[in-house]
Structure 1
Amino acid sequence: MTDDEVAARRHRTMEAEAEAEAEAEAEAEAEAATNATAAANADKGRTDEMNSDAAQDDQTGGPARTVRVVLVDDHRMFRTGVQAEIGRTEETGVEVVGEAADVDQAVTVITATRPEVVLLDVHLPGGGGVEVLRRSAAMMADPERPVRFLALSVSDAAEDVIGVIRGGARGYVTKTITGADLVDAVFRVSDGDAVFSPRLAGFVLDAFASTDAPPVDEDMDRLTQREREVLRLIARGYAYKEIAKQLFISVKTVESHVSAVLRKLQLSNRHELTRWATARRLV
């Protein structure tokens, strides 16, 4: 074989090796591209799955946050009813973290649990809702974790509304409120809003529109909150049984309150009591 033939064969061998190397590189690049595409598709699948899960969570209609609530009312059956109505946390976003039946219990439970909102009855053994507010003043003023109060009472009397608002409550609703509206009120109060049953807002506006201090009524000051409520219902013509049903107390307890009111006001009968209440616009 001549030198030229040897050189030609060597050249052909080199070309073949170069072609084989190029094919190998092309195959490697193709495999890398395939792997990259597969990885991208896998990432997209995971992202789509996460988005789908999030969309399903949104479609459940569950609450975006939870508000912790303490119920303060001296009637256990009423507390049980309120908890059953609004305390379904997964549906309403309200978590009932404590209950109390009187002033001392209320202050103890509120201090221990530090809820966002307290649903507070106006009439309580031990001094009433105003006393709970007075003893909770420091917690209401806490800039980082303020405890806010929403009065929830059977009473719609102006003096009761104004009393708890002056004491620091953020709102006042009556016990005729629906469960859905009460949940809404709880969330609004937790955000710092003021909430009132429609008819009661006027009492507050009228009270705070005046710069004059309210006149002192020594006779009224002698009465407890519960005695004032019984007095008002007596003056409206309610029978003892009707008052007992309205206030969730016994007829005997109503009679005891009436006797105490008559004694403290130095009146003889319910007719004088009615005239006395009418003169003070308590009816």
Structure 2
Amino acid sequence: MTNPAEPSPPLRVLIVDDQQLVRSGFRMILESEPDIEVTGEAATGAEAITMTAAGRPDVVLMDVQMPDLDGLSATRQILASEPTDLDPPKVVMVTTFDREDYLFEALRAGASGFLLKNAGPEDLIASVRAVARGDALLSPEVTRRVLARFTAPTPALGTFRPPALTDREHEVLVLLARGATNTEIAAQLYLGETTVKTHVSRILHKLELRDRAQAVVFAYEHGVVAPGA
């Protein structure tokens, strides 16, 4: 008789916010789930760095604006200081979108996505699980809003083509950078959604990118797509 598979360890989450009410609310929601464990709460970016190193969370919910050290600087330091032999935590920026100038820089710093502070309990739980399994928490709406500061409404095709990508993978990367969902990419390229997901995975692997958010940044920084009419 085979032994039943051992249950997976719970997802470890660090909550970082300078407002006690926000931290307590997030903790109450997350700890209602048997597969999620809150490892601690930090009120400043500096505390977040220390507690991340000590507690090794899988996911860090990081407020953007905090005293002492803001969330953007803390994210940079957390991800830059991770040992190469360990998987870095996934950082989700928690924002009200009142500082859009932070958002693109947060992607460049390595954040896996964004979560609105007024998100519902189900969205918070789903977001933690999504980034923990490697998905970028970057909806098309957020992609378009973040990149609107740097581009025209419809980015034009750039001049750079990553040599490692096939023609189809290049097409998928261009559409991804324009904020298209897998469903939208599938419709535009007449592909199945499963095929699109496979292409996205191959793009990330070939370009050595962690997730969809980094792929968007890569496309703009390297000229795969460019501001255009």
Q: Partner residue of 1:72?
A: 16
Q: Partner residue of 2:77?
A: 135
Q: Partner residue of 2:55?
A: 113
**Once the two structures are superposed, what CA deviation does each residue of 1:79-111 show, in whole Å capped at 9, x if it has no partner?**
001101112242xx2110011001211111111
Equivalent pair of 2:72/2:102 in contact (CA under 8 Å) = no
State the alpha-carbon separation in 1 of the partners of residues 101 and 14 from structure 2. 24
TM-fit CA distance, 1:153: 1.7
Find 2:30's aligned residue among 80, 86, 95: 86
Secondary structure at the aligned position of 1:118 is classed as strand
The structure in which a higher percent of residues are helix is: 1
State the alpha-carbon separation in 1 of the partners of residues 129 and 81 from structure 2. 18
Amino acid corresponding to residue 32 of structure 2 in structure 1: R
Amino acid corresponding to residue 163 of structure 1 in structure 2: E
TM-fit CA distance, 1:179: 1.2
User: Any gaps of 5 or more consecutive residues in structure 2?
Assistant: 159-229
State the alpha-carbon separation in 2 of the partners of residues 144 and 134 from structure 1. 17
- C-alpha change, 1:168 and 1:141, in structure 2 (3 Å) is farther
Q: Partner residue of 1:186?
A: 128
State the alpha-carbon separation in 2 of the partners of residues 202 and 137 from structure 1. 25
Name the % identity: 31
State the alpha-carbon separation in 2 of the partners of residues 143 and 185 from structure 1. 25
**Once the two structures are superposed, what CA deviation does each residue of 1:45-64 show, in whole Å capped at 9, x if it has no partner?**
xx7xx99xx7xx9xxxxx85
TM-score (structure 2 length as normaliser): 0.58
Q: Greater shift after overlay, 170-179 or 195-204?
A: 195-204
TM-fit CA distance, 1:154: 2.1
How many residue pairs align between the two structures?
152
**Once the two structures are superposed, what CA deviation does each residue of 1:134-186 show, in whole Å capped at 9, x if it has no partner?**
22123557453211100112235431221211221000111121111111111
State the alpha-carbon separation in 1 of the partners of residues 82 and 138 from structure 2. 19
Bigger relative contact order, structure 1 or 2 (CA pairs below 8 A, ≥6 apart): 2
Amino acid corresponding to residue 92 of structure 2 in structure 1: L
Correspondence 1:91-106 to 2 at 5 A: 93-106=35-48
Q: Partner residue of 1:201?
A: 143
Amino acid corresponding to residue 101 of structure 1 in structure 2: A
- C-alpha change, 1:173 and 1:88, in structure 2 (3 Å) is same
TM-fit CA distance, 1:188: 1.4
Q: Partner residue of 2:68?
A: 126
State the alpha-carbon separation in 2 of the partners of residues 65 and 205 from structure 1. 37
Secondary structure at the aligned position of 2:57 is classed as coil
Equivalent pair of 2:16/2:62 in contact (CA under 8 Å) = yes
State the alpha-carbon separation in 2 of the partners of residues 140 and 170 from structure 1. 15
User: Any gaps of 5 or more consecutive residues in structure 1?
Assistant: 1-46, 58-62, 212-283
User: Is 1:173 the counterpart of 2:86 in the alignment?
Assistant: no
Equivalent pair of 2:64/2:71 in contact (CA under 8 Å) = yes
Amino acid corresponding to residue 67 of structure 1 in structure 2: L
State the alpha-carbon separation in 1 of the partners of residues 121 and 140 from structure 2. 16
Equivalent pair of 1:107/1:132 in contact (CA under 8 Å) = yes
Correspondence 1:1-283 to 2 at 5 A: 65-90=9-34, 93-139=35-81, 142-196=84-138, 199-206=141-148, 207=150
Equivalent pair of 1:161/1:200 in contact (CA under 8 Å) = no
- Output the aligned Cα RMSD: 2.8
State the alpha-carbon separation in 1 of the partners of residues 138 and 83 from structure 2. 21
TM-score (structure 1 length as normaliser): 0.48
Secondary structure at the aligned position of 1:177 is classed as coil
Amino acid corresponding to residue 122 of structure 2 in structure 1: A
Equivalent pair of 1:158/1:200 in contact (CA under 8 Å) = no
Q: Greater Rg, structure 1 or structure 2?
A: 1
